[in-house]
């Protein structure tokens, strides 16, 4: 979770997944969100970098997520971190329009993703939780 002063303004939740047929693991970003008035301040960057940093430390090179096909803000945001559209899934969502999603995937995590957003987050404190799938 990300706090601005004492207000919780954002969160990221991820889980570890075992890849089919092998011992490799990858990370799935279940959700990443920042409250609208606090967007554009670097908080989303801080949250995502923290998750990617943990992946890097655990030698996990693949991270992926689903995003609605019309969510251009989020798609552009993730592309800045090296995510690419690797799949389109029709009718992924059952209760929103359009129901289609892209799968965004990032491989080869390197330390250089860390960017200079720290100055913009003097009052931001983050925590991070990862669920392990068995
Ligand atoms: C996507 C989201 C998490 C980004 O969070 P944020 O705190 O606003 O992002 P940042 O301030 O760290 O911005 C990082 C970069 O993305 C860009 N960016 C962020 N929001 C953007 C927007 N709405 N349009 C275009 N670019 C955007 C910024 O320009 C910034 O680039 P820069 O560092 O070169 O200036 C936030 O917009 C959000 O919560 N959206 C709604 C939920 C959602 O769609 N989540 C993703 C699907 S899981």
Domain ranges of the chain: 1-62+117-134, 64-106
The CATH number given to 1-62+117-134 is 3.40.630.30
Residue 121, CA distances (Å) to 2, 24, 47, 133 in order: 10, 34, 11, 32
74 Cβ inside 6 Å of ligand 1: yes
Centre of ligand 1 from the C-alpha of residue 115, in Å: 14
Ordered alpha helix ranges (H), 58-118: 72-79
| Gap between the Cα atoms of 109 and 96, Å rounded | 32
What's the predicted TM-score (pTM) here? 0.82
Model pLDDT for residues 66-107, shown as the tens digit of each residue: 999 999 999 999 999 999 999 999 999 999 999 999 999 999
For residue 51, the model assigns a pLDDT of: 97
Nearest CA to ligand 1 atom 28: 40
Enclosing H/E stretch for 83: none
């Amino acid at each position: 979770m990300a706090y601005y002063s004492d207000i919780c303004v954002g969160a990221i939740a991820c889980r570890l997944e075992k890849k089919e047929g092998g011992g490799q693991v990858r990370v799935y970003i279940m959700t990443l969100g920042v409250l609208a008035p606090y967007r554009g301040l670097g908080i989303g960057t801080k949250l995502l970098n923290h998750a990617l940093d943990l992946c890097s430390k655990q030698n996990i090179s693949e991270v992926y997520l689903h995003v609605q096909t019309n969510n251009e803000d989020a798609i552009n945001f993730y592309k800045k971190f090296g995510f690419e559209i690797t799949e389109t899934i029709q009718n992924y969502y059952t209760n929103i329009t359009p129901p289609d999603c892209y799968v965004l995937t990032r491989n080869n995590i390197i330390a250089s993703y860390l960017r200079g957003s720290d100055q913009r987050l003097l009052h931001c404190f983050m925590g991070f939780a990862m669920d392990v799938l068995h």
